[in-house]
Amino acid sequence: MAAKNPTSDPVGTILPHLSRDLGWEKQLDLHSIFISWDGLVEEEVRAHCRPLKIEREVLWLEVENSSWMQQLQYLKHELLQRLNRSLRLARLHDIKMTLGTGEPFAQKEEKVAKVSFRQLSEEELAAIERQAAGIADQQCREALVRFHYLAAVCRRREER
């Protein structure tokens, strides 16, 4: 499989249009909060809560204990404004909170995702290429083979 110029990749050119047409852009914008959380909130707040999910433009936070839940109620308006300033297309309408397990967040070990790779046999590689053989467009066919190959060789495992 030869490396292709990213601008000649039809999948790469279709995805941005598809996400816009299907309305995914606003959802992706909202969920960017999870990625940039550390830069959006103060260290003291991060140590006692974390974003859990976003439903119907409401951010749910998992909070360490009831004392911090009360403190975050006082900071809620300021936090909501700060998070909304970081968004380009969407807006959060509220922040709701739920209690965590009671274990302090700062003492929890973070799970680290590791990726392991395995070697594909000649038969497995041939099977992937046979599956894609019916696709007439060469670039699409090669992109699909690359995708299936990477999905087959990369395995994610969580370690403590």
| DSSP three-state, residue 2 | coil
Give percent above pLDDT 90 in the chain. 27
pLDDT in tens, 119-140: 778 888 888 888 888 888 888 8
Q: How confident is the model at residue 107 (pLDDT cuts 50, 70, 90)?
A: low
| Mean per-residue pLDDT, 83-92 | 89
Residue 96 backbone zone (phi > 0: left; psi -120 to 50: alpha; other: beta): beta
CATH architecture of the region 18-108:
2-Layer Sandwich (3.30)
Q: Of 48, 19, 9, 52, which is closest to residue 33 (Cα–Cα)?
A: 52
Q: Within a 10 A sphere around the Cβ of 38, how many other Cβ atoms?
A: 9
Tell me the average pLDDT across 128-157. 79
Confidence band, pLDDT 50/70/90 cuts, at residue 160:
very low
* Average pLDDT in the chain: 80
How many angstroms separate the CA atoms of 61 and 69, rounded? 9
Pairing of strands 94-99, 58-63: parallel
Calculate mean pLDDT across residues 84-95.
90
Residue 159, pLDDT score? 47
Between 66 and 117, the more confident residue is: 66
Q: What does the domain layout of the chain look like in residue ranges? A: 18-108, 113-159
| Separation CA 144–CA 135 (nearest Å) | 9
pLDDT tens, position by position, 31-86: 888 888 999 999 999 889 999 998 999 999 999 998 999 999 999 999 999 999 99
